[in-house]
Structure 1
């Protein structure tokens, strides 16, 4: 899963694999991806395609997808409005939805995250989750508790499975529990230490017990997966069993080359069960190369060309959680996206995940359709307060950046009186950004001399950089785009 697909989860139903991943502060929330071979994935929908759950406001993390008795369930983390982090749940009769939200199941004082469902040997349903103690400098126990069949409440007393051990590789936390039953044991795969950012130290551990309530024994060889020269900070995944009985682990890691800029990307490794009963991975690290579990379609979807000729936006377009963009697609005459403006710092945003450190993004804008005071263009975006971009406003092209909410204009030139105005962003090493403009899409005029703009401030601690289209101005104003391209 190239790009920002942190905390991935996967389930097999028949011949189909369904997956989801963290959205954080980018909507639509929790992508639903489909595959028949665990390698080629297509985004086919979202758990919450239109708006956030009514009880939640931010931090949409770690969705766990499961299938039970004819229904699909998504156990997800979110911050309660005015409150703490909670584990909520939504359900649907089809993997693609529509999903019905059932609200939060558990909201501890320091936060509850990373929910995972499992049935015990008696068929009773439990929720396993992490108490987010590390957020206040405390340990992070993994808890279990009975859950009713309607998934609307936890029942009985909670019990602790185990917690992090300071002074070990686990550091300040254990999290991301994922359980499987094998040979009379429950095996719990988990992540330890710091998940995110340039200083991350994540790894994968495993523990086992014959009873869900314990006692739990951690593998003395932990961590069973750690970084290598190609991938850094692997962790937080789910085990899935294919039709042949092989187990695979879908998890995330940072590219050692691209580092934090594309975000935490989805990886797949086969679980190898040792003669001692403990699971391992080839090389105890993410596989650099490995045989695919099935023949793949060899699709190359890293490059994107959207000419807006369809009736709906492609499901991989994203926007800020707190901002519901309004737009229309004019599929006739070659296609066109008409994006309504907003007065926020960087305006209305439609973005795409980046998947490598080096990429080129281009867009074609109908300049003559811009109203007075409306700015429209192309940008690399970290969040609503951090972006670097180019736009045209009132017949003037500006190169600008917003860092921690403070805007700086780096260059300005008069815009030519052309209808179609083309913008290009060329990024190298993830943070070296150069911008140019054109009236024909082939001859480019750079907007800066000398050094590129340094965008090392763009990625938030838990997210990758997006690149996309902007429209800033009074409510009701619009910007019309002819096409958008992203090439890696």
Structure 2
């Protein structure tokens, strides 16, 4: 049973106990969970984040205390019909006894990013899509909704793909939350095009405070930070004079913080959920969700302070799924653009097949979000056929690595720059005996691969050092470990279990 702090005690702890160094701050939601948005219903908090090119779309987490979180599902198990890719920046909102999620996706007809909206009577399931609400220029992303004395407003980023200043735009929103009213207006303009997005608004003592992310969001060369400006009217002008900017920047073992939203606890205190990269694991764990407390200085400018996560995080260290038993919900993800997995538990195994683009030899990758860089994954393949069946660490179709059983051979394969190579292979002794496979991902961004049938593990990694897989991460998300199938329709892979064991604490 998880211990739940009362609201007042929680705020007193979070705001008074500051880490001696920022390295004591751990991710509240570890692993790839960018652009988080948060909402509270009673004593429960719900957070939703970017899924980008992973399906299902937009993971949803729940917490009773803002510290320990568990996934409950996804916004969409199937992509809305108007969408094609780039599922970014979902925004939670509650209005008229209805839960809204405003989200970004690329439109199928022309590839332009638009903002759509879905609604439900529940915060974490049952959402119905209503289609596009904002289609503006070459790109509309990063929705945020604000209620100003009963009038709804929606804001978004525009002109990021145009040869003109980036702007944060706003518009009145209809009372049902499903359409714009009137003409858009400018809240803030980025004349230098240094990057400006991921905005949220708070109102206090007659001022509207606009928090926004500046710089480059993603990848090794990121420069994200959170800044604040304020105005006497929601339409602006927003000024930064007097603000201690940036209000959130690189801190201890975390870098490039940004794109957050606020939630108020039952006592009326505000917290800011945002994402950042862990400097140790960097892009291999993606942008992870952290929480900061909000306080106000005597000059009425805000201050954000990252807060430490209490307790142990060992509950996330070892996950074991035995497919001969009821495993409960496993939140698998896959590259929905290039594959359609078909998987089910049957006859004591997880049977995996599906379809995929024949020009991309990675096959079907059924994966999980990693919480840290250093881990070991293992499985046992229980069937024998011509298909490749095994483990994978998957970045995208042009960057992946895995170990597979194919007929009577075990092979270590790598796809780099879209080209597949077999780096090691070995004959197995008995074709009808389960083959155990293991991949070890190491903190130096190398991996090692092993196999066995009986006796001890045999390594298949070439050379004396681990194989360098630093090429795996896509620019905006982390690679994912999991199970792999490479075969024709009618073939399948059968696995008796899947195990992921983190070989060190989740990075601090």
TM-score (norm 1): 0.91
Query: Equivalents in 2 of 1:425, 1:279: separation in Å?
Result: 46
The match for 2:239 is 217
- Tell whether 2:103 aligns with 1:76: yes
The match for 1:191 is 213
3-state secondary structure, aligned to 2:170? strand
3-state secondary structure, aligned to 1:413? strand
The match for 2:368 is 352
The correspondence of residues 396-415 of structure 1 with structure 2, limited to 5 A, is: 396-415=409-428
Query: Equivalents in 2 of 1:315, 1:210: separation in Å?
Result: 48
Contact map agreement 2:207 2:233 (CA 8 A) in 1: yes
The match for 1:115 is 143
Query: Equivalents in 1 of 2:314, 2:118: separation in Å?
Result: 32
- Tell whether 2:253 aligns with 1:230: yes
The correspondence of residues 150-229 of structure 1 with structure 2, limited to 5 A, is: 150-166=176-192, 172-218=194-240, 220-229=243-252
- Alignment match of 2:477 (pick from 450, 463, 476): 463
Distance change (3 Å), C-alpha of 1:27 and 1:187:
same
The correspondence of residues 20-169 of structure 1 with structure 2, limited to 5 A, is: 20-49=48-77, 51-81=78-108, 82-121=110-149, 123-131=150-158, 133-166=159-192
Residue 210 of structure 1 and its aligned partner are, at CA, apart by 2.4
3-state secondary structure, aligned to 2:161? helix
Query: Equivalents in 1 of 2:59, 2:323: separation in Å?
Result: 21
Contact map agreement 1:45 1:315 (CA 8 A) in 2: no
Distance change (3 Å), C-alpha of 1:164 and 1:440:
farther
Distance change (3 Å), C-alpha of 1:480 and 1:188:
same
The match for 1:340 is 353
Contact map agreement 2:166 2:191 (CA 8 A) in 1: no
Query: Equivalents in 2 of 1:370, 1:440: separation in Å?
Result: 17
3-state secondary structure, aligned to 1:353? coil
The correspondence of residues 280-291 of structure 1 with structure 2, limited to 5 A, is: 280-282=303-305, 286-287=306-307, 290=308
Residue 245 of structure 1 and its aligned partner are, at CA, apart by 1.8
Distance change (3 Å), C-alpha of 1:325 and 1:149:
farther
> Can you list the C-alpha shifts for 1:411-435, whole angstroms capped at 9, x where unaligned?
1111231521111111112520111
Query: Equivalents in 2 of 1:278, 1:423: separation in Å?
Result: 55
> Can you list the C-alpha shifts for 1:233-291, whole angstroms capped at 9, x where unaligned?
00001111111222111100000111111100111111121111111123xxx45xx36
> Can you list the C-alpha shifts for 1:387-428, whole angstroms capped at 9, x where unaligned?
011111121111111122211111111123152111111111
Contact map agreement 2:139 2:160 (CA 8 A) in 1: no
Query: Equivalents in 2 of 1:55, 1:222: separation in Å?
Result: 39
- Alignment match of 2:463 (pick from 449, 473, 476): 449
- Tell whether 2:315 aligns with 1:300: yes
Residue 226 of structure 1 and its aligned partner are, at CA, apart by 0.7
- Stretches of structure 1 lacking an aligned partner (at least 5 in a row): none
Aligned length: 467
- Tell whether 2:282 aligns with 1:259: yes
Query: Equivalents in 2 of 1:351, 1:328: separation in Å?
Result: 14
Residue 163 of structure 1 and its aligned partner are, at CA, apart by 1.6
Residue 25 of structure 1 and its aligned partner are, at CA, apart by 0.5
TM-score (norm 2): 0.88
3-state secondary structure, aligned to 1:260? helix
Query: Equivalents in 1 of 2:84, 2:328: separation in Å?
Result: 24
Query: Equivalents in 1 of 2:207, 2:326: separation in Å?
Result: 50
Distance change (3 Å), C-alpha of 1:448 and 1:240:
same
Contact map agreement 1:422 1:441 (CA 8 A) in 2: no
Distance change (3 Å), C-alpha of 1:151 and 1:364:
same
Query: Equivalents in 2 of 1:101, 1:343: separation in Å?
Result: 27
Query: Equivalents in 2 of 1:415, 1:185: separation in Å?
Result: 71
- Alignment match of 1:478 (pick from 484, 492, 501): 492
Query: Equivalents in 1 of 2:328, 2:154: separation in Å?
Result: 36
Contact map agreement 1:58 1:78 (CA 8 A) in 2: yes
- After superposition, the CA RMSD in angstroms is 1.9
- Alignment match of 1:247 (pick from 270, 278, 289): 270
Query: Equivalents in 2 of 1:314, 1:383: separation in Å?
Result: 24
Residue 315 of structure 1 and its aligned partner are, at CA, apart by 4.1
- Alignment match of 1:269 (pick from 283, 292, 296): 292
Residue 33 of structure 1 and its aligned partner are, at CA, apart by 0.8
- Stretches of structure 2 lacking an aligned partner (at least 5 in a row): 1-28, 503-508
Residue 114 of structure 1 and its aligned partner are, at CA, apart by 0.2
Query: Equivalents in 1 of 2:482, 2:188: separation in Å?
Result: 43
3-state secondary structure, aligned to 1:135? coil
